[in-house]
Amino acid sequence: MTGTRGQARERLLEAAMTYFGTRGISDLSLRQLADALGTSHRMLIYHFGSKEGLLTEVVRAVEAAQRELWNELVADPDLDPTERPRRLWQRVSDPGMEPFARLFFEIYGQALQGREPATGLLDGDITAWLLPSVRSLVDSGVPPERAEPMARLGVAVARGLLLDLLATGQRMAVNDAFELFLTLFRQLAESKPVAGAG
């Protein structure tokens, strides 16, 4: 989307992200949310269709920024392969990201139930995370047939531990679990594949 409409939409999206990042996700109506963002509910409907549409776009924007960071990390030859996921984890599990993490799981749950407009989040989501991860693993010597399941495991563990953190608030225990995962992940990457294992 280009031109004035695209710029106005981006400004509203940035304002919404700033608002949610400082005040958390609330039960504001679309009109109340528009007031908080300094716009009208008609403008929000024009650009995002609904409150749910705006929230979905906030999730998309946060996910895109996190994937951009991940792409930068896996492309950095000076970083140890274990340090790359650790830095991404530090970003996604940062207390300042908690409102967005909660929103991610809320909207993702809607997507899994087939509710629009959230369903669009499912299109290519996992694949977008897997591709750079698989490439990084293969570059570090992991056989391609093992790299994809390992990358998929990494996405699943990170999201599962993030959900654990949100549910329990036990940051130290969850971080310890993530460090254990990194140790096991590295051992798996360095071990020889079992014949016939796929």
Domain spans of the chain? 1-49, 59-190
Consecutive H or E run containing 182: helix 171-190
- Contact between 121 and 60 under an 8 Å Cβ cutoff? The reply is yes
Give the CATH number of domain 59-190: 1.10.357
Q: pLDDT value at position 198?
A: 47
- Contact between 139 and 62 under an 8 Å Cβ cutoff? The reply is no
User: At the top level of CATH, which class does the domain 1-49 belong to?
Assistant: mainly alpha
Spatial distance between the Cα atoms of 45 and 195, rounded to a whole number of angstroms: 56
Give the predicted TM-score (pTM) of the model: 0.84
Q: pLDDT value at position 192?
A: 67
Q: pLDDT value at position 194?
A: 55
Q: pLDDT value at position 191?
A: 79
Q: pLDDT value at position 2?
A: 54
At residue 187, the 3 state secondary structure works out as helix
Q: Shortest CA distance to 102 belongs to which of 16, 36, 24, 17?
A: 24
Q: Which pair of structure tokens corresponds to residue 183? A: 């140790």
C-alpha neighbours within 13 Å on the C-beta side of residue 121 = 29
Q: pLDDT value at position 189?
A: 82
Dihedral angle at the C-alpha atoms of 104, 117, 64, 91, nearest 10 degrees?
Answer: -10
Type of residue numbered 189: A
Q: Is the dihedral of CA 143, 149, 152, 153 positive or negative?
A: negative
pLDDT digits (tens, 9 = 90+) for 144-178: 889 999 999 999 999 999 999 999 999 999 999 99
Please identify every stretch of the chain with a pLDDT value under 50, giving residue numbers as ranges: 198
For helices 51-75 and 98-112, the axis angle rounded to 10 degrees is 110
